[in-house]
């Protein structure tokens, strides 16, 4: 396996010993695809489409974003990406996730009411084959880790987001870059969305993470978690944590 940025050593053995089939679609996501139908590529077809975004400005990478249910504070410790060419990139995003504080008049944290934006570009990587994430569920508190396989459906959506304009707003340019979102919730739930050409979040995967046995910060913080915000504390005192709603 080629390495762009190596994974943290504690997970290298897991990566080496877990086989993953190559994705059917390969190639740089903004320019080409080798999934051929009737002698032409999918992107060739989109390029001749009336809504083609071929000549719109685009960045040559995609973004990895994090979101959380309202008031359910998380802290992303580390992520890593293996792209569809089998190259590993580590430290592809960390820090806070997008959330919100809409009030205390109802159980806002139940379910996924919105998919917010906070993340960073995965520079140098092709589209993702799988993603590793380790995060703190601050409201519990608990630390989780997971490998998330990214399905072909997500890759198709990400390609189309930059290759085609939205039919609802054909006068607008296509998306500047493709984007993928990890929703991180209490209990170790990881929900994955890809933004389509109309910037709508499309659910593409959901996995159950495992508990990180070393605890927060891989055991280097004496068990200390990211501080629980006061608004999250107030919400949980009134409504609790809605396990099972994500």
Return the SS3 of 216: helix
Write out pLDDT tens, residues 150-207: 999 999 999 998 888 887 878 777 677 899 999 999 999 999 999 999 989 999 999 9
- pLDDT of 232 reads 98
**How much is the pTM?**
0.79
- What separation in angstroms does the CA of 238 have from each of 89, 176, 228? 41, 41, 15
| DSSP H or E segment with residue 77 | strand 74-83
Q: Return the percentage of the chain with pLDDT > 70, whole number.
A: 78
Mean pLDDT, residues 215-230: 97
> What residues pair up with 78 in beta bridges, in sequence order?
134
Q: Which of 103-117, 121-135, 137-151, 165-179 has the lowest mean pLDDT?
A: 165-179
Return the SS3 of 163: helix
Using left for φ > 0, alpha for ψ between -120 and 50, and beta otherwise, residue 123 falls in: beta
In the predicted model, what is the mean pLDDT of the chain? 82
Q: Is the pLDDT of residue 63 over 70?
A: yes
Strand 62-67 and strand 179-185: pairing? Answer: parallel
- pLDDT of 119 reads 77
Return the SS3 of 116: coil
Write out pLDDT tens, residues 15-31: 333 332 222 233 344 43
CA distance 32 to 205: 24
Cβ-based neighbours of 40, under 8 Å, separated by 6 or more:
none
Contact 61, 124 (CB under 8 A): yes
Q: Which of 2-16, 58-72, 74-88, 143-157 has the lowest mean pLDDT?
A: 2-16
* Residues 187-211: b if buried by 16+ CB within 10 A, e if exposed: bbbbbbbbbbbeeebbebbebebee
Quick one: tokens of 109? 């944290």
Quick one: tokens of 75? 């802290």
């Amino acid at each position: 396996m080629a390495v762009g940025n190596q994974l943290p050593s504690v997970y290298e053995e897991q990566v080496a010993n877990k086989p993953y089939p190559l994705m059917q679609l390969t190639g740089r996501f903004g320019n080409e695809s080798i999934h051929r139908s009737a002698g032409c590529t999918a992107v060739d077809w989109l390029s001749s489409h009336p809504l083609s975004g071929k000549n719109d400005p685009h960045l040559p990478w995609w973004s990895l974003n994090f979101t959380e249910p309202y008031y359910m504070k998380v802290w992303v410790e580390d992520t890593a990406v293996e792209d569809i060419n089998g190259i590993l990139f580590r430290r592809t995003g960390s820090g806070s996730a997008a959330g919100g504080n809409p009030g205390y008049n109802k159980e806002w944290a139940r379910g996924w009411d919105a998919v917010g934006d906070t993340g960073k570009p995965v520079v140098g990587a092709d589209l993702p084959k799988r993603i590793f994430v380790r995060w703190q569920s601050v409201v519990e508190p608990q630390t989780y880790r997971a490998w998330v396989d990214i399905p072909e459906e997500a890759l198709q959506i990400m390609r189309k987001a930059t290759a085609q304009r939205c039919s609802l707003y054909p006068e607008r340019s296509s998306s500047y870059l493709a984007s993928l979102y990890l929703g991180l919730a209490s209990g170790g739930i990881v929900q994955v969305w890809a933004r389509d050409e109309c910037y709508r979040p499309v659910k593409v995967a959901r996995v159950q993470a495992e508990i990180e046995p070393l605890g927060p910060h891989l055991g280097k913080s004496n068990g200390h978690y990211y501080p629980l915000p006061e608004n999250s504390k107030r919400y949980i005192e009134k409504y609790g944590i809605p396990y099972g709603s994500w």
